[in-house]
Structure 1
């Protein structure tokens, strides 16, 4: 992997991985992942389908643990704590490291109860009304829904539903928000609203986003990791990071030819 920038190393890192290999059974899905994710920045993972972007993303909050055949070797640190140490509680990891999925998935509950669900589950004792309002404001949704908090979240438009899911994620006051192609099901206007929201959210949170949209990565992220995929003699496909750098360098002056070919649209 090529990484010219020192920026992510001189600023505080939230995640740091060393020689991580990710397996499903005997299948090596992603190899040699060594990367640092800077605090209070947006980092984008880009690359063709099957290159391991989402697989790596889901390792950061241990969602892959739910897949029986999953295991990894190497080291993955969160604030210098080994995320996969035996004494680490995956549930607590997921509280601190929230997730927003590709397809908006609000609960079949009211808008209010969608946002309040996580804090209630965690035993929140403060002012729930204030927390719900603050979370909806952080997700740039409050003005749209403040007069219909009892309406079902599933009745909102697709873009509003995704922002409700973001409000639900921030309501438990995480440290990191992971987003797996959060705009792929949205129209262009809703997509731009979410991208604008990322710039506000990074003031308080560290954000890692998987996207197939090159324009989105170039507009919305501070750092970009380009993943690619290779096939062995048996046709098994393994992902790996080709290059990781400041976003403007990845798109304007990449060091690797494969990166140049991908960001210019010549493949992928």
Structure 2
């Protein structure tokens, strides 16, 4: 199934309608309704166990890889239901890329880390040009241009994470999902990644899960605050408390629970 490619800059790119996520019979997240806007950075915040990473992984169907995981409700990407049987999850993951919490470069050269995904996706253009463009977009070119044949594992942690971002960019996605991409990085590397995100949103739509309140307030345009409630069987079920422009969430939130969380009273 082809996705709609006629969206404008003000359109909703991703939308959830009463999204609930299950692992077997356990409801991990309930009734999430939100719109993700084009060329904006949206931050998911909240305490551990509130479902923010679970929701993030729904957007490119990574939860499909977990036995027993399924959703109720609807998620649309450019007006197409991504759980429709006619949607190819591989194509979806090309259009909606993912950067994980810990840098995970392939045990290959820096060059091949970038080229690998493009080849799998049938890229027919100039591979050297693609590799350089992706690495430049990830603000890494000046640091690695003379050692592209060296292993990606030889880079520092911060460089490895930017290499993983470049790898995601090389398959030319429209949306980039980031699950706590700075949690394993030092402050200087974190700042470099944050600066990079501000540049990338000119071309991409970005959703970032973060435990760092300062990071969310610095880089995001929209913020979704999730919380969790205890279930009868002793687990936790996440839910969306509030979704608003970031300045509203941090300066004048509509919900008391949001105010308590962003002011550090719990979480």
Q: Which residue of 2 aligns with 1:218?
A: 217
1:55-134 → structure 2 map (5 Å cutoff) = 55-134=54-133
Unaligned runs of 5+ in 1: 1-9
1:34-45 → structure 2 map (5 Å cutoff) = 34-45=33-44
Deviation at 1:68, TM superposition (A): 1.2
Deviations 1:147-204 (A, max 9, x none): 1000100000000000000000000000100000000000000001000000110111
CA distance in 1, matches of 2:126, 2:10: 35
Secondary structure of 2:97's counterpart equals strand
What's the TM-score, normalizing by structure 2?
A: 0.96
Unaligned runs of 5+ in 2: 1-8
CA distance in 1, matches of 2:38, 2:89: 21
1:221-236 → structure 2 map (5 Å cutoff) = 221-236=220-235
Secondary structure of 2:17's counterpart equals strand
Secondary structure of 1:106's counterpart equals coil
Q: Which residue of 2 aligns with 1:259?
A: 258
Deviation at 1:233, TM superposition (A): 2.8
Secondary structure of 2:15's counterpart equals strand
CA distance in 2, matches of 1:234, 1:165: 39
Q: Which residue of 2 aligns with 1:151?
A: 150
Note the aligned Cα RMSD (angstroms): 0.8
Does structure 1 residue 46 correspond to structure 2 residue 45? yes
- Using the TM superposition, name which of 226-235 and 156-165 deviates more: 226-235
Q: Which residue of 2 aligns with 1:4?
A: none
Deviation at 1:112, TM superposition (A): 0.3
Deviation at 1:234, TM superposition (A): 2.6
CA distance in 2, matches of 1:168, 1:155: 16
Secondary structure of 2:241's counterpart equals strand
- Using the TM superposition, name which of 116-125 and 106-115 deviates more: 116-125
Q: Which residue of 1 aligns with 2:19?
A: 20
CA distance in 2, matches of 1:119, 1:234: 45
Deviation at 1:235, TM superposition (A): 1.7
CA distance in 2, matches of 1:46, 1:121: 34
- Using the TM superposition, name which of 243-252 and 226-235 deviates more: 226-235
Deviations 1:46-91 (A, max 9, x none): 0000000000000000000001110111111000000100111101
CA distance in 2, matches of 1:162, 1:197: 11
Secondary structure of 1:48's counterpart equals coil
CA distance in 1, matches of 2:232, 2:124: 57
**Number of corresponding residues:** 259
What's the TM-score, normalizing by structure 1?
A: 0.96
CA distance in 2, matches of 1:123, 1:23: 34
Does structure 1 residue 11 correspond to structure 2 residue 6? no
Does structure 1 residue 200 correspond to structure 2 residue 199? yes
CA distance in 1, matches of 2:208, 2:197: 10
Secondary structure of 1:249's counterpart equals helix
Deviation at 1:236, TM superposition (A): 2.2
Q: Which residue of 2 aligns with 1:191?
A: 190
